[in-house]
Amino acid sequence: MIQIAIYWQRFRLFFGVLSVCGLLQGCAAPPATPGVLKTDLEENRIVYTVRSLTDTQVRVFRLYNGGSTDLEIQSLEVSDKSALKVETELQFPLTLKPGKSQGVEIAIRFKPASVGEFRGSVRIFAPASSNAARWGGVELSVRSLKVH
């Protein structure tokens, strides 16, 4: 009786392994994750600490693809060209391979155009990104402390 129990356990283990490996069910590769546009910014926010109209400041962030398939970036735009300037030379369309290390560093310069608080945005157009908004991309918020 013990002999039968041992054979039964081996039988179940063997066919369980076959089943998991796909020999009985047909294993498929895990599904590819669509491209996911990501940054290393906290909550996709860029904050500048410029306090004077004569000051400028550059912030650098990494833009990368958190998915498992290539992701095409069509363009990158700033909301206020008098205050914000993309310092990094980029060629569009830009294809991001999967992985943070495959991303690009983007530098954006802020030079206040007027006194007060600044609020703006950087829009990255990537319609195939799984986290793209209805308009076709991801928006980063930009703000500054009060400029005097």
The first and second tokens of residue 13, run together, are 């283990």
Q: What percent of the chain has pLDDT over 90?
A: 72
Query: CA 108 to CA 97: how far, in whole Å?
Result: 22
| Total-model pTM | 0.77
Q: Note the pLDDT of residue 16.
A: 54
Q: Between 145 and 70, name the one with better pLDDT.
A: 70
| Candidate from 11-15, 40-44, 82-86, 133-137 with smallest mean pLDDT | 11-15
For residue 93, whether the previous peptide bond is cis, meaning omega lies within 30 degrees of 0, is yes
Give pLDDT tens digits for 119-131: 999 999 999 999 9
Q: What is the pLDDT of residue 17?
A: 47
Decide: helix, strand or coil at residue 92: coil
Cβ atoms 54, 35 nearer than 8 A: no
User: What DSSP letter does each residue of 4-57 carry, written as one string?
Assistant: HHHHHHHHHHHHHHHHHHTTTT---PPPPPPP-EEESSGGGEEEE---STT--E
Burial 48-59 (b: 16+ CB within 10 A, else e): bebeeeeeeeeb
